[in-house]
Amino acid sequence: MRALRKVTPRRLADVARAAALLGQARLRTRRGSLARATCIGDPQAPWPPLSDAERRIIERTAWAVAVAARYVPWRSDCLVQALAARTWLASHGIESRLVIGVPRQKGAQFEAHAWLLSHGITVTGGNVARYNAFPAA
């Protein structure tokens, strides 16, 4: 919590909003009501032009969701973070694509990862270079 003391009131509000969206996304994953929210996008498809204001919203969203995910008292894994960020961006009319993939190197057990892209920017999911995305349905 010490790190949050040094942020602006706007950033604190962003973290609070992200925490609420993470909670909603977590509930959706627990209830299994993901069909509408998890349309998988083609990460290679072209993006429409991006304004500076939209880029700032994407960056704010990425930062706030990552910070809030560390502090909420429930599990906010990659899918929950991607769904929360997707809801935030959609509220601003910003297109995003949920991507699900598996590691390039096969391990002893199954592993999958979800991340969110918006205009070629990885919003959630961290460094996804080691994953192959599933093709869009």
What are the pLDDT digits (tens) for 73-110? 999 999 999 999 999 999 999 999 999 999 988 878 88
Q: Distance of alpha carbon 46 from its chain centroid, rounded?
A: 19
Closest by CA position to 137, among listed 38, 15, 22: 38
The domains of the chain are located at 2-133
Q: What is the C-alpha to C-alpha distance for residues 88 and 93, in angstroms, rounded to an integer?
A: 9
Q: How many CA atoms lie within 13 A of 59 on its CB side?
A: 7
- In eight-state DSSP terms, residue 64 is H
As to burial, measured by CB atoms within 10 angstroms (0-12 exposed, 13-18 middle, 19+ buried), residue 97 is buried
When pLDDT is cut at 50, 70 and 90, the band that residue 5 belongs to is: low
Q: What is the pLDDT of residues 20-62, one digit of tens each?
A: 999 999 998 887 655 555 566 677 788 888 999 999 999 999 9
| CB count in 10 Å sphere of residue 74 | 12
Q: Are 122 and 78 in contact (CB under 8 A)?
A: no
